[in-house]
Amino acid sequence: MTHDTSPARWVRWPAAHPLVGGGRSLPANTPRLAYGADYNPEQWPETVWADDVRLMREAGVNIVSVGIFSWALLQPTIDTWDFAWLDRVLDLLHANGIAVDLATATASPPPWLTELHPEVLPVNRLGETIWPGGRQQWRPTSPVFRRYALALVEKIALRYADHPALALWHVNNELGCHNVYDYSDDAAAAFRLWLQARYGALTALNRAWGTAFWSQNYSTWTQILPPRLAGTHPNPTQQLDFARFSSDALKDYLVAERDILRQITPSVPVTTNFMVMGEVKGMDYAGWASEVDIVSNDHYFLGSYPLAFEELSFSANLTGQIAGRNPWFLMEHSTGAVNWQPVNVVKAPGQLRRDSLTHLAHGADAICFFQWRQSLAGAEKFHSAMLPHVGEDSKVFRGVVDFGAELVALAELAGTRTVQARIGILFDWDSWWASELDSHPTDQLRYKVEAMAWYTAALANGLQADIVPVGTALADAGLAGYDLVIAPMLYLVPNALAAALDDYARSGGHLVVGAFSGLADIDDHVYSGGYPGAFRDLLGVRAEEFGPLLPGQTVGLEGTGLAQGATGSLLTHDVTVLPDVEVLARYDGGPFPGVPAVTGRIVGAGRASFVATVPDAVALAALVERFAAQSGIDSPLPAAVRGTVQLAARQSYTHEYLFYINHTMEAVRVGGIRGAGLVGIDLGQSSLTDGELALPGLGVAVLRRSLETLSAGAV
């Protein structure tokens, strides 16, 4: 792990920041960890509110998000407003020392608006209208929606600008959760403007979209449409640009709300809740983060996912990287089951704590839930909450209270930054969008699954990896802090990125390129002359054909360090190699028997490796172990607990905080710990005796050691 102790990189929030303030046992104006939930008091009679704040205090709740779905109550008709109830809510919260993340209430337009202006309703690619009845039924590019929504934002901002409970603005809610892809006429008009800004001239667009193919040449801008339902595969670059445009259109809307808020309350930070989780891929959050003052994320544990813990850890890490390794805000997760999966799995005892602390380990300074009090009506009545249907005399509420106490005891972590790992795994929305388009050699490859496979392989070796937005490679500091950089399925590689990665490897790094990478340029045109064109010269390889495998089909992999029975699946490449390339594994069977499957090569002061198939989990872990060893990276964890315990770290100016996360149900012991002691009150019942840490199933322990001890040589 790399240690950066320069004071400039140590976060100091201004006094008005939501992550600064008093708390149960904190003096005023000290950094704190925030704890809370979405609070929807409008669903309850006012008599319940007093009970809410009493129980919030008992749980140590110090911030709640209010007003997210309140538009229809705040503005019951086009020209009537009712803020009185919200005034009372904010006053009550403030009187009880609870800060407010106040929503702009624009997430779901009221029925009067869509009745009056049905032209704000989104349209899907089949031309069907998305009607009211659910939520978020608005077009991101609708000028009419924008007029009404921004008027509401201004009204709320002016009314609550000086309210003492106001700590943070919450723009809309989960922008793009249900409406990222809109194919309406408004979207078509906005798409054309976006394309004009990108390409300038129609000739440039025609070239980029390859419209000589299938007679698609455009002679006027008005002929261009979103990729609506077509008879066969729509133009791939049109689809890719529409994905880019759709993300930008929502970002533009975020900026429009934010600008109003900043103008009225320049000192109140602005956030909006991202959805870095699972297969949510519509919004390029790496490009959104600089538009908000605090990065927030919503993450739900995907109980039915085969690698659910790894997915949580991956998403938390990516959120932290998007936030520039500064503290971020976990705006929503759940105390237990959700309501929107086919089968909504309950959380195991200890899991609320483990999941929350895993987010904290990756830089979250706020741990919040959806929602405070479980609804009795509506589509989310079976979604868990901090205060469940059964009431305060419940396992869930006792767990919530206990965890609140633990967060108070961990207050010194507030404002600390995550420690950079030595392994970086590149992550790129363009490649995600482009690689999963139709009419490819196989439709079986999934971008996030591939990226997660590499992250899981690092964890299996007891190694921490960062999920690094690909733009980092082009930034000033670049990838210099990473000894090993992995590019899983980096399908789309613009020239500048290819050059930056080439430079990274030749100047002493180790670049590992995964299957189905380096194939296309920024316009999704194939690099000719042999695959993978963007990395061919660096890797010293040349492939002529793809050899996709049928679902369930595998091909044997034979090579040093790989166990008997190692396999690849989904895709192979028929690779020939230059004489200085070392072949680490070959295919045993499949479309290209005996052909190199894994290669490596010294390039300049560094190294470049290629994994030309999708190895099974054990084989991938063995390859990562080898690549890490070649890069001089060793796990700080004893061999026995690698793959069972994740070790992640944050640091302040003076201390390092080590999170030992046992992500299995079995108790484990981690020996060899020196110079560090437990922090907090650890109601998860870990113990540290004579350098041996005992962690129960799902146990997480936070250890502190001084950076002085560290520089004196303790491990």
Active site residues: 174, 332
Select 174 or 365, whichever has its Cβ closest to ligand GLA.
174
If the CB atoms of residues 385 and 603 are measured against ligand GLA, the closer one turns out to be 385
Q: Is the CB of residue 559 less than 8 Å from the CB of residue 597?
A: yes
What secondary structure does DSSP assign to 539-551, as a single string? HTEEEEEEEE--T
Q: Is the dihedral of CA 509, 514, 518, 523 positive or negative?
A: negative
Closest residue by Cα to residue 71 from 33, 113, 16, 29: 113
Report whether 146 contacts 104 (CB < 8 A).
no
Q: Which of 682, 13, 680 lies closest to 408 in space, CA to CA?
A: 680
Dist. CA 668–CA 643, nearest whole Å: 12
Nearer to ligand GLA, 379 or 390 (CB): 379
Instruction: Please choose, from the candidates 118, 238, 250, 228, the residue with its C-alpha nearest in 3D space to the C-alpha of residue 183.
Output: 228
Q: Which is nearer to ligand GLA, 274 or 587 (CB)?
A: 274
Burial (0-12, 13-18, 19+ Cβ within 10 Å), 560 = exposed
- Determine contact, residues 316/467, Cβ cutoff 8 Å: no
Measured from the CB of residue 370, what is the shortest distance to ligand GLA in angstroms?
A: 4
Task: Name the residue among 44, 71, 253 with its Cα closest to residue 156.
Answer: 71
Could you tell me the two tokens for 228? 């609506």
CB 51 within 8 A of CB 447: no
Measure CA 275 to chain center.
Answer: 6
Q: SS3 sequence, 276-326?
A: CCCCCCCCCHHHCHHHCCCCEEECCCCCCCCCHHHHHHHHHHHHHHHCCCC
Q: Which is nearer to ligand GLA, 347 or 705 (CB)?
A: 347
Burial class (CB in 10 A: 0-12, 13-18, 19+), 476: exposed
Report the site for ligand GLA in 164-193 (rule: CB under 6 A).
173-174
In 96-210, alpha helices (H): 111-116, 143-160, 185-199, 202-208
- Considering beta carbons, is residue 335 or 631 the nearer one to ligand GLA? 335
Closest CB to ligand GLA among 191 and 370?
Answer: 370
Helix (H) or strand (E) holding 647: strand 645-651
Q: What's the closest the beta carbon of residue 679 comes to ligand GLA, in angstroms?
A: 30
H or E segment and range at residue 505? helix 495-506
Binding to ligand GLA by residue 332, rule CB under 6 A? yes
Q: How far is the CB of 566 from ligand GLA (least distance, A)?
A: 39
**Interface mask toward ligand GLA for 203-232; x: CB under 6 A:** ------------------------------
* Residue among 285, 370, 372, 546 that touches ligand GLA (CB under 6 A): 370
Which DSSP state fits 190? Answer: H
Instruction: Report 417-456 residues binding ligand GLA (CB under 6 A).
Output: none
Residue 332 C-beta: closest distance to ligand GLA, Å: 5
Check binding of 338 to ligand GLA (CB under 6 A): yes
State the angle between helix axes of 47-59 and 84-95 in degrees (0 to 180), rounded to the nearest 10: 30
Q: Out of 244, 325, 383, 440, name the contact with ligand GLA by CB under 6 A.
A: 383
Query: Which of 257, 298, 436, 524 touches ligand GLA (CB under 6 A)?
Result: 298
CB of 298 to ligand GLA, least distance (A): 4
Cα separation, 602 vs 579, in Å, equals 12
Q: Is 253 or 482 the residue whose CB approaches ligand GLA more closely?
A: 253
125 vs 281, which CB is nearer to ligand GLA?
A: 281
Of 154 and 380, nearer to ligand GLA (C-beta) is 380
Closest approach of Cβ 123 to ligand GLA, in Å?
23
Q: How far is the CB of 419 from ligand GLA (least distance, A)?
A: 29
Q: How far is the CB of 134 from ligand GLA (least distance, A)?
A: 10
How many chain residues interact with ligand GLA (CB under 6 A)? 9
CB atoms within 10 A of CB 48: 11
Query: At 607, which amino acid appears?
Result: R
Which residues in this chain contact ligand GLA in the complex, by CB under 6 A?
A: 173-174, 298, 300, 332, 338, 370, 380, 383
